[in-house]
Amino acid sequence: MTGDGVLVIGLAAVFVAFVLLLSTVGAISAERAQVNRSMAALRAIDNVPDSMRKELDRPFDERVIVPVRDAFSRLGRRFSPKGQVERIQHSLDVAGSPENWDVDRVLALKMLGLFVGVMLSAVLIFVISPAVLPSVGAAALLCAGGYFLPNLVLYQIGHGRMERIRKDLPDALDMLTITVEAGLAFDAALSQVARNTEGPLASEFFRVLQEMQIGMGRMDALRALGDRVNLPELRGFVTAMVQADAFGIPIANVLRVQSREMRIKRSQRAEEQAMKVPVKILFPLIFCILPTLFVVVIGPGAVNIFHALIQGGK
């Protein structure tokens, strides 16, 4: 190796060493600066007043979400028509008082839906579509949909719950009749049915028992059950029980008659649903099934006839 090659290698080594030295010094300086900034942040946190520290220690939902929800709820109470709060509470009772749902939250969701509908309407009118009438109509639908969406959700939950109660009621009354005829009192029989069944009807029976335990009369608790559930079959059962208690009729006889009527009504309801099937299937049959069937059955023949006509014309 010549002297020039050795000199070049030596200069390159010196350059690489100098670069590594600068990089190390820079990394140490950056780390020290980062440590200094972290220490300054910790000292700033230590110097924060106690009131601000307590505010920052609270969860995010308590600091932000809850105040916003309360503001929307106050707006909902201010601009809701008279009786709206009572109707929402009744819908919640029919829906079984879902967890984390109350009147204030429903009102807040209604106001939030209206606000979102207004914002989407503004975007639709001023950005997407310049046409006035279609945009105004779509905006009105968006605002109405956002405002009434919580009501629709509550109605759907309540409707599904009522259907489940209507389905479980005959079997529950059969079990209640058997336990009463076996010698148990009505309260004990109701407790047995509530413990050995599942679903919303069992929850309602448990609520009746709890109301009786806190001092409410049996008939008052049953009337509250009928008002809360608002199901014709259950209202008939409650009315029969109230009349039996008022006139001294044996409860076992009343329960036997009620269970038989419930089974008859269930079979009638099944027959009614079966008779509705032809009407419900009429439109899908006309617009979906028959056109496809015509294409599959008549299509090949129509194609052959078309080709035969063309060849005959030639």
pLDDT reported for residue 131: 63
Whether the Cβ atoms of residue 235 and residue 226 lie closer than 8 Å to each other = yes
Which positions of the chain have pLDDT values less than 50?
Answer: none
**Residue 11: predicted pLDDT:** 55
110-125 residues labelled b (16+ CB within 10 A) or e (exposed): bbbbbebbeebbeebb
CA–CA gap between residue 304 and residue 20 (Å, rounded)? 86
State whether residue 277 is helix, strand or coil.
Answer: helix
The pLDDT of residue 235 is 87
Complete DSSP assignment for 15-63: HHHHHHHHHHHHHHHHHHHHHHHHHHHHHHHHTS-HHHHHHHHS-HIII
Q: CA angle, corner 215, sides to 210 and 217, nearest 5?
A: 90
Asked if residues 241 and 221 have their Cβ atoms less than 8 Å apart, the reply is no
Domain boundaries, the chain: 3-52, 64-161
CA angle 133, 139, 141 (to 5 degrees): 105
pLDDT one-digit tens code per residue, 113-166: 888 888 887 777 777 666 666 777 777 888 888 888 888 888 888 888 888 888
| Cα(213)–Cα(208) distance, integer angstroms | 9
pLDDT at 289: 82
